[in-house]
């Protein structure tokens, strides 16, 4: 879902990240407030004042979304749901979960916490606005407070729409889940509604753009596309989790991985390994021990004319927890790590030794076959969200440098 992001701070133990796409919405919100809303509502102020109000309104919106997502996270923690943190991106914010809620009640309480928190902020800001209006507070300050009361009310109402993965859709899923004690059925119904609502927004956005409201129409179109894709992906992820439940990495790993010796030159690495096997990262092994990893980004740091003289051992870096995994790890956690890091292969390491490679392609093949044979339902996407590397370890020939 996310591209490059920056960690801003930690709050109550949760890391708050900002995706670089958030900068776009922050600029647009500030601009629309400074040249549109505030000049229309409060005439006669200086341009500088309007821009200060716009910046304050955008920062208030930023804080309100964090408050909304933090409410989700705190309730999730109470019910033992593992949370990775909070990320703000172009379409708002999301509290990132590592797993599905353990019960319909946990899902309901976690989902409803967000809209309730936004309603609380809406009431608090609007009450402050009324109080300030009675006391004659400065128009710029009261204008920003009134805007924050309005926007939090809008956020609460929009999120209560019963379209998954909006909060209202999660509330609906929890009700359906509790009614029939079937998480998959509840997810399928709420996701279908979410997808339908996304298509509706796309249609409305096109109509508005054709009628002259181009910017508003484009935003409705983009939000609709996002909701439609997110609804479909949520159902596919649930199918994947249930299909992999109880399986370990050991079952899916390839035990004959392509490895590189530290003595291999970068020129030979490119010709005999990268071009032949078409992988972007290779484990570096010497004497049966995993000594590091090397990828294309490291090679590109070295001038091409130096490749025949530089060796893999000089460039290899220690493998990290981001690209390694234990053979006994649950396959669901492995898939989650791949999704989080954008990697399509993980090194399977046991007590410092490389025992295999886990490939996203092999996991997806298993998922496709199992769901088709055992469930006869919609299969998960056949391709990862981020481009998978061609080939798989099973198809690659084992090649170790002397």
What is the phi-psi region of residue 212: left when phi exceeds 0, alpha when psi lies from -120 to 50, beta otherwise?
A: left
Measured CA to CA, the distance from residue 229 to residue 195 in angstroms comes to 7
Active site residue 271: no
Judge whether 17 and 88 are in contact, CB under 8 Å: yes
Measured CA to CA, the distance from residue 60 to residue 46 in angstroms comes to 21
Does residue 258 have a cis bond before it (omega within 30 degrees)?
no
**Sequence-ordered list of residues with C-beta below 8 angstroms from that of 334, at least 6 positions apart, any chain:** 249, 325, 346, 358, 363
Judge whether 187 and 237 are in contact, CB under 8 Å: no
**Sequence-ordered list of residues with C-beta below 8 angstroms from that of 324, at least 6 positions apart, any chain:** 346, 347, 348, 349
CB atoms within 10 A of CB 119: 16
Name the residue among 23, 134, 82 with its Cα closest to residue 336. Answer: 82
Phi, psi at residue 18, to the nearest 5°?
Answer: -130, 120
Task: Tell me the three state secondary structure of residue 383.
Answer: coil
DSSP state letter for 269: I
What is the phi-psi region of residue 400: left when phi exceeds 0, alpha when psi lies from -120 to 50, beta otherwise?
A: beta
Strands (E), 100-233: none
> Catalytic residue among 69, 96, 100, 393, which?
69
Measured CA to CA, the distance from residue 123 to residue 1 in angstroms comes to 32
Catalytic residues: 69
């Amino acid at each position: 879902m996310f591209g490059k992001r920056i960690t801003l701070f930690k709050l109550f133990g949760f890391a708050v990240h900002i995706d670089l796409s958030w900068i776009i919405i922050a600029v647009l919100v500030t601009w629309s407030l400074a040249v549109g809303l505030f000049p229309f509502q409060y005439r006669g102020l200086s341009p500088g004042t309007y821009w200060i109000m716009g910046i304050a309104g955008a920062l208030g919106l930023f804080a309100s979304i964090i408050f909304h997502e933090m409410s989700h996270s705190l309730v999730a923690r109470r019910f033992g749901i593992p949370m990775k943190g909070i990320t703000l991106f172009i379409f708002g914010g999301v509290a990132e979960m590592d797993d599905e809620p353990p019960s319909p009640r946990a899902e309901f309480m976690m989902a409803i916490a967000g809209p309730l928190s936004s309603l609380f902020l809406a009431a608090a800001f609007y009450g402050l606005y009324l109080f300030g209006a009675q006391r004659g507070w400065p128009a710029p300050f009261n204008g920003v407070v009134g805007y924050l009361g309005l926007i939090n009310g809008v956020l609460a109402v929009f999120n209560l729409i019963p379209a998954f993965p909006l909060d209202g859709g999660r509330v609906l899923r929890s009700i359906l889940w509790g009614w029939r004690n079937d998480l998959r059925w509840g997810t399928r119904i709420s996701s279908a509604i979410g997808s339908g609502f996304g298509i509706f927004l796309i249609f409305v956005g096109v109509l508005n753009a054709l009628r002259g409201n181009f910017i508003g129409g484009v935003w409705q179109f983009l939000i609709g596309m996002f909701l439609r894709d997110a609804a479909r992906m949520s159902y596919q992820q649930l199918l994947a989790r249930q299909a992999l439940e109880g399986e370990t990495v050991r079952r899916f790993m390839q035990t004959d991985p392509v490895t590189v010796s530290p003595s291999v030159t970068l020129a030979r690495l490119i010709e005999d390994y990268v071009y032949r096997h078409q992988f972007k990262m290779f484990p570096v092994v010497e004497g049966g021990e995993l000594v590091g990893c090397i990828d294309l980004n490291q090679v590109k740091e070295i001038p091409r004319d130096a490749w025949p003289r530089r060796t893999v051992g000089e460039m290899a870096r220690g493998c990290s927890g981001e690209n390694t995994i234990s053979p006994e790890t649950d396959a669901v956690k492995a898939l989650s790590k791949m999704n989080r890091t954008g990697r399509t292969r993980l090194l399977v390491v046991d007590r410092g030794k490389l025992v295999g490679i886990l490939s996203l392609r092999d996991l997806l093949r298993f998922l496709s076959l199992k769901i088709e044979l055992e469930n006869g339902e919609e299969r998960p996407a056949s391709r990862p969200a981020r481009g998978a590397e061609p080939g798989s370890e099973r198809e690659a020939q084992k090649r170790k440098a002397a």
